[in-house]
Every structure is written in C-alpha cells, then in structure tokens.
Structure 1
C-alpha cells in the first residue's frame, strides 16, 4: 500500500513540472504608435485670410508665434499662439474651422 501511495505521489509530482508555464507571467508593456504628422513652418502672411479671421475672432488677445502647414499639403494649419501667459497650439483647416487634436 505504501508503494502505491509513494508511486502516485512521484507520478503526480513529475506531471506538475510539465504543467508550469515556460513563459514569465508578467505581461510586457504595450506601446501605442502614433503617426506623427509632418508640418513645415510658414510665414504668418502665408496663412489664408479665413484662418486669420478665425484666430482674431476666437482668440482676440492672442499673439501668433509660429505657423505651420501640413507637409502633405492637406491645407491643415498648426498655429502656436500665446494668450496672456499661456502658450497654446491650435489646428485649423483652410476655411478657418478649428480641428480638435490630441
């Protein structure tokens, strides 16, 4: 009887080593790739009048620091502005409509 119990214990102990995972249980960190859009700096005078008007209307006290256009010429504009002490980056299309970006 002792031999049967001992044999069963040895067999179960041997099988349990095969049941363990060969991989670490710690999940690897996941990275999110974000496509970065390419912008080319332009002069403020090159901005369409609709974008200038929208900036004057919605940010009357803003100072335009830099202006950029999308490299793919999709007529999307990136504007770096200063409103009081706060520096903002806003995006607009060629018609002066604001675009929400993350």
Structure 2
C-alpha cells in the first residue's frame, strides 16, 4: 500500500513540474542588476572623454575594444590590459568607476 501511495505521489509530482508559470531564478542580487541594465553598443569614439581619461589614468596601457551605454548614462567597457587580460569595466559619465 505504501508503494502505491508513493508511486501516485511521484506521478502527480512529475506532471506538475513542467507547468510552472515562471522559472525560479536564484541569485545574489548582482544578477538582478545585470538583467535590469539594458546596454546598447556604441562606437568607441562616442565614449565621453572623462571616461577615456579615467581608463588611461587607472588602467595605463589598456585598450578600449568595445563600449556600451544604458539609459542611465552608465558605460560598460570591454578592455584589454597591457598584460593581455580582458576586463569588463563600468563607469558613469563623469568617469567614476561603478560596480553593477
């Protein structure tokens, strides 16, 4: 009898697993910020000089490969360092580094 009840519970549970309305997403708060941010690619030449100056000052020898901006005026920069590693940096329009 116990096996029959257990088998029934498994069958009913198996049928309801695929019917969730929205997927469950586990995150630590950072993922939520990145989902909300909608960055659009821009030309590297369109990055404000304040951001470029901050990059040159704080990451000497780095090369700006790609740039993106969001509606809040925050910039996402894809950078190659002089040592050959790749970084993803975020800055506001004034050239202040931010964590997103």
1:40-80 CA distance string (max 9 Å, x none): 0000110111001101111111011100001xx21100000
* Aligned counterpart, 2:84: 85
Describe the shift of the 1:81–1:30 C-alpha distance in structure 2 as closer, same or farther (beyond 3 A). closer
Instruction: Report the TM-score when normalising by structure 2.
Output: 0.65
In the aligned structure 1, how far is the partner of 2:73 from the partner of 2:68? Answer: 10
The alignment status of 1:96 with 2:91, answered yes or no, reads no
Question: Any idea what SS the aligned residue of 2:32 has?
Answer: coil
Describe the shift of the 1:92–1:30 C-alpha distance in structure 2 as closer, same or farther (beyond 3 A). closer
Q: How many residues were matched structurally?
A: 74
Compute the displacement of 1:30 (Å): 7.0
Question: Any idea what SS the aligned residue of 1:57 has?
Answer: helix
Instruction: Report the TM-score when normalising by structure 1.
Output: 0.64
Q: Structure 2, unaligned stretches of length 5 or more?
A: 1-8, 10-23
In the aligned structure 2, how far is the partner of 1:30 from the partner of 1:75? Answer: 28
* Aligned counterpart, 2:72: 74
Aligned Cα root-mean-square deviation (Å) = 2.3
Q: Structure 1, unaligned stretches of length 5 or more?
A: 1-21, 23-28
Which structure 1 residue ranges, 4+ long, deviate > 3 Å from structure 2?
A: none
Greater helix proportion: 2
